[in-house]
């Protein structure tokens, strides 16, 4: 048996790490990049289709601003509980984490509920014309992301109430907030595209 030299001892290292030092962050960011690319391409497709016609929206009224704008306010405010849930997770402060995660989930559900009013407020159907198709697609794509993260937040919240909890779950909560920021950040350009491109362009 050849002698192996014990060159490096890692037994004292922690078994979790928040942010980019940890592995979960890279998975989360990987999927954020994939979905971000999808959003970018969808927005490019929107403007590509805009160039193909003279009038925008083509013989349809502009979308109503109210529901979408309220939703923008809701998701921007939801960044507050997302921030404090992340901070509480990184301090392993379980009571505060539960509180902020519950609030984050609540805001997420509120945002989803507003989408019920947003789709009719587009004032078009997906099969009216290409404008209707791409507008519905943008809103649908973003809604599916909101729905995914609301379910994730809800599941994490229930887990944090019932257990079993171990350290890595606090990392999950932290990354969940990161993913939520991503979804909120994307709502700003998509909101502007859906509601203001028809008015300004």
What contacts 32, CB < 8 A, 6 or more positions away? 178, 179, 182
Based on the shown chain and the rule CB under 8 A, indicate whether residue 47 belongs to the binding site for another protein.
Answer: no
Using the contact rule CB under 8 A, the part of the chain among 61-69, 80-88, 115-123, 166-174 near another protein is 166-174
Based on the shown chain and the rule CB under 8 A, indicate whether residue 149 belongs to the binding site for another protein.
Answer: no
- Greatest alpha-carbon pair distance for the chain in Å reads 82
Using the contact rule CB under 8 A, the part of the chain among 10-18, 106-114, 179-187, 193-201 near another protein is 10-18
Using the contact rule CB under 8 A, the part of the chain among 73-81, 99-107, 156-164, 187-195 near another protein is 156-164
Cβ atoms within 10 Å, residue 4: 6
Output the CA–CA distances (angstroms, integers) from residue 189 to 58, 122, 157, 194, in the order listed.
Answer: 21, 16, 29, 9
Binding mask 11-30 for another protein (x = CB under 8 A): xxxxxxx--xxxx--xx--x
* Three-state DSSP class for residue 11: coil
Alpha-carbon gap, residue 19 to 178, rounded angstroms: 9
**Window 69 to 108, contacts with another protein (CB under 8 A):** 92
Closest among 95, 75, 74, 64 to 161, alpha carbons compared: 95
Based on the shown chain and the rule CB under 8 A, indicate whether residue 49 belongs to the binding site for another protein.
Answer: yes
Which residue do the tokens 């306010």 mark? 73
Instruction: Using CB under 8 A, list all residues that contact another protein.
Output: 1-17, 20-23, 26-27, 30-31, 33-35, 37-38, 41-42, 45, 48-49, 52-53, 58, 92, 126-134, 136-137, 151, 155, 159, 163-169
């Amino acid at each position: 048996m050849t002698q192996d030299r014990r060159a490096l001892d890692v037994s004292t290292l922690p078994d979790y790490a928040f942010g980019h030092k940890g592995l979960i962050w890279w998975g989360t960011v990987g999927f954020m990049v994939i979905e971000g690319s999808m959003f970018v391409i969808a927005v490019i497709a929107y403007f590509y289709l805009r160039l193909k016609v003279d009038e925008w929206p083509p013989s349809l009224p502009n979308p109503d601003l109210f529901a979408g704008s309220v939703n923008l306010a809701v998701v921007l405010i939801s960044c507050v509980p997302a921030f404090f849930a992340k901070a509480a997770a990184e301090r392993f402060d379980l009571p505060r984490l539960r509180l902020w995660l519950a609030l984050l989930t609540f805001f997420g559900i509120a945002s989803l509920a507003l989408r019920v009013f947003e789709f009719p407020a587009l004032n078009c159907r997906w099969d009216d014309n290409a404008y209707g198709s791409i507008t519905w697609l943008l809103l649908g794509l973003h809604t599916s992301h909101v729905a995914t993260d609301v379910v994730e937040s809800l599941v994490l919240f229930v887990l944090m109430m019932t257990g079993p909890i171990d350290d890595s779950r606090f990392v999950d909560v932290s990354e969940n907030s990161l993913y939520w920021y991503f979804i909120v950040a994307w709502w700003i350009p998509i909101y502007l595209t859906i509601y203001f491109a028809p008015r300004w362009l």
